[in-house]
Structures are given as structure tokens and as C-alpha cells.
Structure 1
Amino acid sequence: MTDVYIVGSYSSAFGKFPDRSFKDLTREVYLGVLADAGLANGNDIGMAWFGNCGMWTDGQGSIRGQVCLTPLVREGLFPERVPVINVEGGCATASIALHGAWKDVLSGQTDLSIAFGVEKTFNPAHPERTKALFDGGIDQYDPEEWLAYYAAAGEASGKPFEPGPGRTIFMDTYAMQAAWHMRTHGTTERQIAMACAKNHNASVHNPKAQYRFPLTVDEVLADRPVSWPLTRSMCAPIGDGAAAALVCSGAWLARQPAAVRARAVRIAASTMTAGKYRQLDEPGLSQLAAERAYKAAGVTPQDIDLAEVHDATSFCEIYQSEMLGFCAIGEGGRLVESGATTLGGSIPINLSGGLVSKGHPVGATGLSMIDELMLQLRGEAGPRQVSGARLALAENGGGVMGFDEAACSVMILQKD
């Protein structure tokens, strides 16, 4: 089978950038990924995947990537006539784009494929557009199905489903999952706050994070309530940003200078799963995606040196630790409390700061996770570096189907 590598990765800073356009962000990450790969130009690129969720709310649908890349083509920076495939999958959008680029190279369609994730969710002049973007992540045709599902889940969890102002509906669904986990497994609010504080403290060392201030566990618990048991600090913020990755074949890589070859990282596995309306005590779709990824890579959860997981809320990190096999079901809270998920622990998680502190511009998130893991596997992560990191895992979910995400990606990267 063809070996597939990431030869270049790049992420913009995440934050609120009302004066930066989609085209501005696309330009930054494209030029950044070329520089990271040590390339003077992108002439060898044979395919492009462009991930975005919200441009349609600003009037641009259908040909989003083509529109954002046109100035670069005109200036001779991006090659002409390269097919651009637009993808959208909620918060998993960028991971879907990277999965497509991986398959391009794996299948032999091209030696070099690029994946973009570009997003703006902060729109102070038109907040209704932000709401429309997030509303697209849940079934708008048959809402009575999820309303009934969440009503029943509220009874089972002891937390009624009561959406309110100042938050997306997703925060309420995560809060109900947290309440059910607390009732079923004994997870505590303090353990959720520990996961949150850990990530906020890690983001202090990430110059591209949206939030770069430390928090204590008590400060997290005392923050403004969003939807019990979640406080504001435990929930990913609104923001803008972009990220990209350049994927290549082993044959193409072998022709590059030694300095380029030395920084390439192999994609050991890339798996996707789809969500469903599952029972509350039924494992989520990320468990199956992870099992498939471990099998494809020929590794176990115990072999993973670090992970970036989709903590849209801090409870999600606890839950995903269980689904990914880093601990037994129900033990995620105790895993955090033990210190295992911190820098120096047995399985460091979200050393970038995670979504709750690094930021969560929906369509860019998955590729920003990859950029963090690339830094770690190259030994370039600075104060947050995991010593001797060789195997890393990224888990990214998007949209909702009941208590499942609508789509989930698990990718394993290996430094040969």
C-alpha cells in the first residue's frame, strides 16, 4: 500500500477577526503551508479540498474554495486547473477535507493534495448569520425527532432539555450528556473543571490560541453558568481562523531534499464514521472510528503518546478519553483527576489548549488539531512538547444526531 505523509501544515491564529476575509485567511494558510513544506511554489499540487461551513450565510455557496483560491491562481501562486472539492460536515469539516486529500494520494490519483479549513463564526454586525451556521449542524427538516429524543434524555439524565438565550443548542445537549454521565458513573463537576483548567493553562504556551490566560479549577467553577453543569470556561468560544495541510506520497517525498524528508509525518490511519440516534448507554461513533484506526495502524490505545480531541465542552474530553480507549468507560473523570492527561502524564490530551481555549472556528478545527500534532511529532512544540512523541491521535466530530456527532474522524499520525 502507498505510504501517505503530511509534508506541510499550518494554522493561523484563532480569534475574533472582523476585518479579515475568507480570502485573507485562505492566503495566509496556503502560503504558510508551502513555507512549512519547504516549497517555493505549489506547482506539484494535483487536488485541493476546501472545508467551510459558513460562507453561504455571507452569500457565497457552491464554489467557496474556487472563489477563495482565485486571487492566488491569478497571481501565479496556486496552480491553474487544479480541481477544488468543497466539503462541509459541521465541526468535522476540516478533517473530512484531509481525509479526502489522504485518499487522493493513497489511490494514486496524485502525488500531492492539499486540504484547507477556513471559517469565520464571529459576525458582530449580523449575529443571525452565526446562528444560521450552527443551526445547519442539526436536522432542520424533522426537528420533532430530536426534540422528542432530548426530552426523553432529559428525564433519564435528571436535567430537562431547556434551550436558552446566549448559547447554541449544542451546549444544552452536551450538558445533558454530562449530567447523565455524572448520574451513571459518578463523574463530578470538579473533574470537568479540571479538564477545563488543564487546557486553559496549556494554551498559555500556544501563541496561536484564542485565549492565553491560566485558570484555576475554582475559577472555572465560579465562571458564569451556561447550562448546568457547564460554565462559560468549559465551552468553546466563537471565533475565526484557518488551517491547512499538504499531503504527499512516499515516492514524491523521496525526491525532496533531506531537510523536507526529515520533517514529514506519516498518516498511519484515517477513519470516518457517521452518527445515529443511539441509546444513552450505547458507545458513541468515535469508539468505532478509533477501533478501526488502531487496527489500520497496527497499534493500541496504550501506544499513543498524545492526543487532540474535540472538546467543544470540557465534558467532551472526559467522554472521548473513554471512547478512544485511554481509560475504561465511566473512568474519564478519574483519568483527568489522576493527572494522566497533563504534560508529563501517560496520555497528554489537548496540549494546544483544546477547543475551549485554543478556539473553535468550526470548519478549521480539525486541521488545527493536525497542526498541533505535527509540531509535537517534529519536536517543535516548545514549552508544551511531549518528550519523544512518536504516535499521535486526532479525534474530531461534527454536527449532532441525538447524542452522537453526525460525523467523526479519527486520524493516527506516526513519526517514522
Structure 2
Amino acid sequence: MPLLQHRAIAAAAVPLFLSMIVNQVAGLVGTAVLGRRATAALAAYAVTAAVLNPAFTAVTGALRGMAPFVAPHREHPPGAVPVLRDARWLSLIVAALAAGAVACVPLVASLGGAPPEVLAELGIFPYLLVVYVLLYGLGGGANAALIALGHSRQVIWASLSSAAVSIVLVVVLVPRIGLPGMGFAMIAAGATALAVSNLRLRRLLGGGVGRGRPRPAEIMKLARVGIPLSGTMLIKFAVLGVVTYAALRTGTREAAAHAVLHAMMGPLMFVSLSVAQASVPEVARARGRREVRGVMGAAFALAVTGVAAGGALLVAFRGPLVGQFTTDPGVVTTVVALVWLVAVMAAVDGAQAVLGFGLAGLKRSSWSLGSVAAGYGMLASAAVPVAATWGLAGLWWALIANSALLIVLQGGGFLRHSARTEATAVPA
């Protein structure tokens, strides 16, 4: 049984990891093309992304909350249709709120003191992203449903097709019309991903999901799992912004080194996040305390092993890799000296992420929200003093300590709630 659990989670995690890499590449191409056109356009994109990323994350978290409700229907996918309908109502509600926040980008940028040339560069771009967010909510989490139903390999096709559309349109439109071209490319890529993923879900279900009448009680059940997931990610985004500010106070080169270190940690985190996301349906389908904990043990081992392997490669080839980000000798020296902390941080943070998703599989994501609020709350209050006293290295040690605390808090919650799991049969 343990070997089967490892294989099942790994088989589902690999396509998710590849999808994350593909999306990352498409994003980097867009940023590079935009930056080569005009600095003000890149700054306007960064200002918009500061609001878009948390808003988009909120919708993503709400949709991930459907997984433990959909997963028990893996043997009979059409049985998940009522749950998917409820999830689409929830996603539309959350997406509408997120789109409203994105629409306020010009106001937020103005109040935040953005330079006039950046405000002028925004133009219609924020409103194009309103369409993009609403389009994502309209999809109703087809990718999350495919993962929950054991067909995560189908997700890679949506990512590949949307990335191809994004790259082609960015290269064609951005040099000609600037930032609006990026907006049109994002809408087209989002529509492509929505069409591909929903087509594959439709084939799996043997028909469309439809809308149906909203069921408030059932929608609330989904919200109790999905909304706390959104909250955990929003808190993390906000506090990491405070950490970046603390790094900036230590000096320009240290802030640049922090940005490079954070960028280098991204692909390592993809490993643990893909494993964590793949483990949610397996936790939801597990029967009894022993099997639930066995699934989580397998996910934990896969995530830590994968991150450790990637971290070893990062440390071994740190010199050439750092050279791809900067040529400043001071920044290079700092990054090379601290890159091993990135590997440690990725392993510890990946482990706590697996536990957080495990709680979501048990439909207890509110415990994860409380743990994240406590841990990141302390980190937010300590970041500036720690950076002022111990510099950038101390700041990364504080990040590691925070993730270790989350392992303890979320691990305790998982042990508590998994102990209450009854050995019931999975519905046919």
C-alpha cells in the first residue's frame, strides 16, 4: 500500500509540476518583451500585478476547496456534477469580488504615489484584466476537477495551449501596442485554457456541467474549505511583501540579492506544491486514520526528497545560475554565500505546504488558516528588527523558523483531525 500511494501521488504531481514550469516560462517571456519595450510599461505591469496576484490567488484557493468533495466520485465521475455546479457558483462570486479589486488598480496606484508616466501607461490594461479574472471564474475550476478525479495529465494540455497562445500574442502585440497587448494576450490565453480544460472535463463526465439552481447550503460547505485556503495564500502574499521591504532596508545590493534568492526558490517550491496539490484527492478518498496518515506520509516524503534533490543541484551549480540573474559582483557574492539557505527554506516551506493541503483534504483548512495567521503574524512583526540586527541572512533564518513553526502547528492539527477519520467506504 505505501508504494502504491507514492506512485499515485507522483503520477499526479508530475503533470502539475510541468504545468507550473510552462506557465512560469510564459510569464517570463511576457515580462521580458514588455521590459524591452518601455520601462514605464514594465512598472505599470508590476503595479497591476501587485493587485492581480492576490486577487487571482483568492479565486484559485476557493476553487481548490472543491477537491475533497469531488475526489470521492473518481470511480463514477458524473456523480460529481452537482458539486461542480456548486463550485461554479462559488467561483463566480469570488471572481466578481476579485475583479472589483483589480478594477481599482488606477485608484490604488494614484493613492500610492505612482509616477505620472506609470499612471498614463496603465490605460485600459486593468480593465482587460477584469475580463481575465471573470473568465477564470467562469471556468469553474475545471483543472481542479480533473485533478480531483484522477486525470491530472489532462491539465498539462491546457497549460501548453494557453502558454503557446500567450507567447505568440505577446511577441506580436506588445511591441506594437504596449501594455494593452499584454492584456489581450492574457485574455486569449485564459480563454484557450478554459476551452481546453472544460472540453476534457466534458469528455470525462459524458456531458456538460451546466449551471442549475444555486444551492446555498452546499455552496457554503465548499466555501468553508475554499475560502480559508484563499485566506492563507493572501496572508502569505502580504507578509512576504513586508519581508521584501525589510530586505530593502538592509541595502540596495541586499535587496537585489533577496530578489534573486526568492526567484531561485520558485522552481523548488513547484515540486512541493505539485505534490501537495496531488495529495488532496488521495487524502479525501482515504479510509480511516491509518490510510489518511499513510497518504500524508507518502506526500511528505516525496515533497522533501524532490526539493532536496533540486536544492542539491542549485547549490552545486549556484555560480552559473546566479550569473543569469545579475552581473553585480556584490550581489553575486551575497547570493552565492546564502544560496544554501534557499534549499533549506524550500524543503521546510514545502513540508508545511503539504500539511496545509492535507488539512484541506480533511476539509479542515480553517485550522491551516489559523496556523498561517499566527506564524506569519509573528514574522511580519519580527522581519524589520531581524533584518536590522542580523541582515539578509537573519531574515532568511526567520523565514525558515516561521515555516518550521507552521510544520508544528499544522502537523498537530492534521494528527488531531485525522484521528477522527472513520474507516468508511468510498462512494461508488
Q: Give the TM-score normalised by structure 2.
A: 0.29
Q: Between the two structures, name the one with larger relative contact order (CA 8 Å, sep ≥ 6).
A: 1
